[in-house]
A and B are shown apart, each in its own frame.
Chain A
Amino acid sequence: AAGVIQSPRHLIKEKRETATLKCYPIPRHDTVYWYQQGPGQDPQFLISFYEKMQSDKGSIPDRFSAQQFSDYHSELNMSSLELGDSALYFCASSLRLGDQETQYFGPGTRLLVL
């Protein structure tokens, strides 16, 4: 079965640079979530989109922005990168079913900021 696709899988950036992470949800899924997982930490919710509109916002820094496009893929744009942004970034997709919704995670993008 098709899974969530994320690109790139690995990314190395310098401080103050920008980065763009991409997420392609499972076909027919209408909702995308972004999570950040620092070393030894649990995943933290950043932002979500449902039917191309922002659905909910978590602990996303103002330096980050995201959007969902007409084909349902999503991009997370990160500017003025800081050392503390080094983390695994996961995208998850789901079919919006309310309380019965199940999220499936992509393989993640490992971002290293030097």
Chain B
Amino acid sequence: QKEVEQNSGPLSVPEGAIASLNCTYSDRGSQSFFWYRQYSGKSPELIMSIYSNGDKEDGRFTAQLNKASQYVSLLIRDSQPSDSATYLCAVLNSGYALNFGKGTSLLVTP
């Protein structure tokens, strides 16, 4: 079973701080990685995709990928209460379906 592991949290950060979310994966051949945000009862919303080692920045979000360590992370700068949600790490499998981690619950406190 190809696995994607995340700390379930909850991760609590104060408003304005940096939130750091981490994910590891077991399939060394994986090439494509995604972060989705999911509010309770709603559908997953794509935040970031990353395919190459290093950092990728989009606004307040930075995704980091280290294929040698099989590790992908998401940094959220200047966290806002509206960022409070579950963040799902997903890895594209060989059939192009997504394998999800169990998600990290983020709580940004005012």
Q: Closest Cβ of chain A: how far from B25's Cβ, in Å?
A: 13
How many residue pairs link A and B with beta carbons under 8 A? The number is: 61
Question: Which B residues have a C-beta under 8 Å from some C-beta of A?
Answer: 31-32, 34, 36, 41-46, 49, 51, 88, 92, 95-103
Assess the B31–A43 pair: CB atoms within 8 A.
no
Count of chain A residues near B, Cβ 8 A:
29
Question: How far is A33 from B99 in the complex, measured between Cα atoms in Å?
Answer: 12
Contact residues of B: prevailing secondary structure: loop
New A-B pairs, 15, CB < 8 Å, besides A56-B97, A104-B46, A108-B42: A31-B96, A42-B103, A43-B98, A45-B97, A45-B99, A55-B95, A56-B96, A94-B96, A99-B32, A99-B92, A100-B51, A102-B46, A102-B49, A106-B43, A107-B42
Assess the A100–B44 pair: CB atoms within 8 A.
no
**B51: A residues at CB distance < 8 A:** 99-100
Q: Closest Cβ of chain A: how far from B84's Cβ, in Å?
A: 17
Across the interface, name the chain A residue whose C-beta is closest to B96: A101
Question: How far is A99 from B102 in the complex, measured between Cα atoms in Å?
Answer: 22
Residue among A35, A56, A96, A105 with most chain B CB within 10 A = A105
